[in-house]
């Protein structure tokens, strides 16, 4: 599965297409609704289920949204907001383990707290839980990455600025 941003006269939208060894590439479908969607990322698990994340404007600020696709031949769900609303979010990423559990991670700004890293965990039976601040507050954190193993354990990394140095 691949996702990308399509820009036309009406805005910027996230689209996706799936590949099957039997059928080849399917026709692209528009996943996002907001005409300012950008920065898509996608995962696919061993069962062929996919989750895409991206940044969209919710009428107030940029938020991280996601949609799910069940199986190779399924269709994308309606978009849902994953990040906190009312605060600027950017740079979403998503990772999956061999059991289909996933973690999405992104940068989130809040009032007077700087920018920190938030993450939400996905379980195939319950969907997403979170978001949770993983970098601590009162930091200027950016450029997050996360890995998740088959036991469901995750490790997140990010860079940050301590007021004097980038680390």
Which of the pair, 112 or 36, is modelled with greater confidence?
Answer: 36
**Listed range (3-7, 13-17, 163-167) with the worst mean pLDDT:** 163-167
pLDDT digits (tens, 9 = 90+) for 7-59: 999 999 999 999 888 889 989 999 999 999 999 999 998 888 899 999 999 99
Read off the DSSP letter of residue 99: T
Residues near 94 by Cβ (< 8 Å), separated by ≥ 6? 41, 42, 43, 51, 52, 53, 66, 102, 103, 104, 105
- In this structure, what token pair is assigned to residue 81? 């907001």
Q: Taking 80 as the threshold, does the pLDDT of residue 103 lie above it?
A: yes
This prediction has a pTM of 0.92
* Model pLDDT, residue 127: 92
The residue among 76 and 71 whose pLDDT is bigger is 76
User: Which band of pLDDT confidence, cut at 50, 70 and 90, is reported for residue 167?
Assistant: confident
Nearest to 116 by CA among 132, 100, 103: 132
| Cα gap 158→142, rounded to integer Å | 6
Decide if pLDDT at 115 tops 90. no
Going by C-alpha positions, the residue among 41, 35, 15 that lies closest to residue 26 is: 15
Residues 24, 41 contacting (CB under 8 angstroms): no
CB 115 within 8 A of CB 107: yes
Confidence at 85, pLDDT banded by 50, 70, 90: confident
Task: Give pLDDT, residue 1.
Answer: 92
Give, as one character, the DSSP assignment of residue 166. Answer: B
Tokens of 124: 């195939």
Mean pLDDT of 138-156: 90
Distance CA 26, CA 92 (A): 25
Q: Kindly report the CA angle at 55 between 162 and 1, in degrees rounded to 5? A: 115
At 138 the pLDDT is 66
């Amino acid at each position: 599965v691949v996702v990308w941003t399509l820009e036309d006269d009406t805005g910027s939208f996230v689209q996706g297409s799936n590949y099957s060894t039997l059928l080849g590439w399917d026709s692209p479908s528009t996943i996002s609704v907001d005409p300012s969607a950008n920065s898509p990322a996608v995962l696919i698990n061993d069962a062929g289920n996919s989750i895409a994340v991206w940044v969209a404007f919710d009428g107030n600020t940029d938020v991280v949204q996601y949609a799910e696709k069940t199986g190779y031949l399924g269709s994308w769900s309606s978009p849902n907001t994953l990040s906190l609303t009312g605060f600027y979010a950017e740079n979403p990423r998503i990772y999956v383990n061999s059991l289909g559990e996933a973690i999405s991670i992104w940068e989130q700004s809040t009032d007077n707290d700087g920018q920190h890293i938030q993450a939400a965990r996905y379980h195939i039976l319950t969907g997403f839980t979170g978001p949770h601040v993983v970098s601590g507050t009162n930091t200027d954190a950016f450029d997050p990455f996360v890995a998740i193993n088959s036991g469901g354990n995750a490790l997140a990394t990010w860079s940050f600025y301590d007021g004097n140095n980038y680390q």
